Amino acid sequence: MQVARLRRDLAEARGKVCRAKAGTLDHVSSTWRTIAIDRGDHGVRVDLVLLRHLRDERAVSRNRIQKWIDDGEVLVNGAPPSRAAWRVQAGDELSVRVEHWQPRARPAAQAMDLEVLYEDDDLLAINKPAGLVVHPSYKNAGGTLINGVLERAKAWPVGSRPSLLGRLDKHTSGAVLIAKRPAVHAALQRAMEARLIDKHYVAIVWGRPSPMRGTINLALDRDPWDRRRITVTDRGGQPSVTKYERLAVSSLGPPPLAGALAKADTFSLVRCRLITGRTHQIRVHLSARGWPIVGDAVYGRKRAGGEPAALDELAYAFPRQALHAWRLSLRHPVTNNPIEIVAPLPDDMRQLAAALCLPTVALAKVAP
């Protein structure tokens, strides 16, 4: 209690300094939105709390929230937090400037055939196919995973509200975890922050990762020349760690595959475990080490001149990044029982692995 009281006193003191410098906060209260921090938000980063509470506002993103924090447009108990990683406490008062906001249209429920991997009163896990967008945007107003989940949520108890725990890129397949209530989502966010949720992915890559097992520790940041891309940086950036294991390497098969493979590149089946969860992390990390994911249009290998070997041509023709969110391991946020959610490797990646002569015994290692 003394620590919490001291924290509030310090925040109030900082707030007085801030108001004295700005001289404007007291008379613009009508442009500030106040959020009371409850037990579900206790101990969570301030940027993640805002992202959860403001998800119905147009054009609100984590990057934009972090900019608001840097610009002093977010206050905790009347004072700007020192950084986006500042953790709020139950009873704190969070304020954010809301000038020029427009309400975001709520996603519509749409009937959709979804493959359910796990479901109980608190959680839902869906096996997302490649090509399905996770959340509506100005480019994809409907036909997304969330639209389908909202249709399913009509049968849930009153007060339920689906919220995603992380996202997958459009062309990445695999397990997506969804909380059914805000308190469950907040508990899962805390578990992620504490690295208590294991996320394992499977990828088919160019090359032969060496050593067989290892850790990629490379900071990531937005590409200054193309904000849609992520790049490795040695100037700040977000610390990013991926553990990997090489499960198999393409092997010579019986003729005529042996002749085709002899001139082709090597391909590998790799399992990755996220220690941190940055945008495009696995794709960028593997590419930076010289093992780009097959089919990755952004970070993958580009066609060289000349006629490619037959197996190389198969890899170049694969229509999406060969990356699959395979397994989630966690403690249930309500019962504390262990849960393991496994999304079977999709047919397109199985067929690609077979065509590239990756041993079938390797696929057994990532079987349900």
Integer-rounded Cα radius of gyration of the chain: 23
- The CA-atom distances, in angstroms, between 308 and each of 87, 260, 264, 293, 321 are 53, 10, 8, 17, 19
Asked if residues 162 and 124 have their Cβ atoms less than 8 Å apart, the reply is yes
| Tokens 């309500």, residue located | 334
Q: At what angle do helices 62-70 and 46-53 cross, to 10 degrees?
A: 120
State how far the Cα of 359 lies from the Cα of 353, in Å rounded to an integer: 8
Give how far Cα 125 sits from Cα of 122, 179, 257, 316, Å. 11, 9, 39, 31
| C-alpha span between 227 and 32 (Å, rounded) | 29
The one-letter code for the residue type at 10 is L
Burial call 302-332: b when 16+ CB within 10 Å, e when fewer: eeeeeebbebbebbeebebbbbbbbbbebee
Question: Does the annotation count 71 as an active-site position?
Answer: no
Q: Which of 41, 47, 92, 169 is catalytic?
A: 169
* Angstrom distance (rounded) from CA 90 to CA 26: 24
DSSP conformation class of 30: G
Residue 282 to residue 291: CA distance in whole angstroms? 11
Q: Which residues are catalytic?
A: 169
